[in-house]
């Protein structure tokens, strides 16, 4: 989403800010990963969770490179700024969790409250459904931006 935002805004600062905002908006869409996160936190399925994150990251990098390579060269700076904005909330959560940095632990609670705002009301959805929903949102956004 950060790449798509970066293609459509004039400055890196705006792309970064909208990238951060898009992260929280997309986090609101249930991912079906609540049980995966709980298992990770409880130490039950750490390896499975890390494999999921690794596959997710590799796919994100492939999509990122594709979108970067098919966009006008002039928008590369804003696209990278949008991606950094889109990634930084999760990076700060991981950093806070790993290093036990108090302000980041506060940020993590805020992040998870937003992340689970809808999922906690409608109940957990299966992981596969969450992945399909995320891909559908991405496909709609790519269609809107690329047409
Ligand atoms: Zn997040």
Three-class DSSP category at 117? coil
pLDDT exceeding 70 applies to what percent of the chain?
A: 100
- From ligand 1's centre to the CA of 22, what distance in Å? 10
Ligand 1: centre distance to CA 114 (Å): 8
Indicate the Cα dihedral angle 60, 46, 136, 133, nearest 10°: -160
Taking the whole predicted model, whether its pTM rises above 0.85 is answered as no
The answer to whether residues 42 and 61 touch, using CB atoms and an 8 Å cutoff, is no
Sign of CA dihedral 21, 42, 52, 130: negative
Rounded to the nearest whole angstrom, what is the distance from the C-alpha of residue 24 to the centroid of ligand 1? 6
Q: Confirm if 135 and 1 have CB atoms less than 8 A apart.
A: no
Q: How many whole angstroms from 122 Cα to the centroid of ligand 1?
A: 19
pLDDT tens figures, 24-53? 999 988 888 777 777 887 888 888 888 888
Q: What is the mean pLDDT of the chain?
A: 88
What residues does each domain of the chain span?
A: 2-142
Over residues 97-123, the mean pLDDT reads 87
């Amino acid at each position: 989403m950060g790449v798509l935002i970066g293609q459509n805004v004039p400055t890196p600062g705006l792309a970064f800010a909208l990238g951060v905002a898009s992260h929280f908006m997309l986090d609101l869409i249930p991912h079906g990963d609540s049980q995966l996160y709980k298992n990770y936190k409880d130490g039950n399925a750490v390896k499975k969770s890390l494999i999921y994150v690794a596959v997710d990251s590799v796919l994100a990098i492939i999509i990122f490179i594709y979108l970067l390579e098919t966009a006008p060269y002039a928008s590369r700076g804003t696209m990278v700024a949008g991606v950094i904005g889109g990634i930084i909330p999760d990076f700060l959560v991981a950093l806070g969790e790993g290093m036990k940095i108090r302000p980041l632990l506060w940020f993590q609670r805020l992040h998870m409250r937003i992340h689970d705002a809808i999922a906690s009301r409608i109940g957990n959805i299966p992981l596969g459904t969450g992945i399909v929903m995320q891909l559908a949102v991405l496909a709609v956004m790519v269609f809107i931006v690329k047409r």
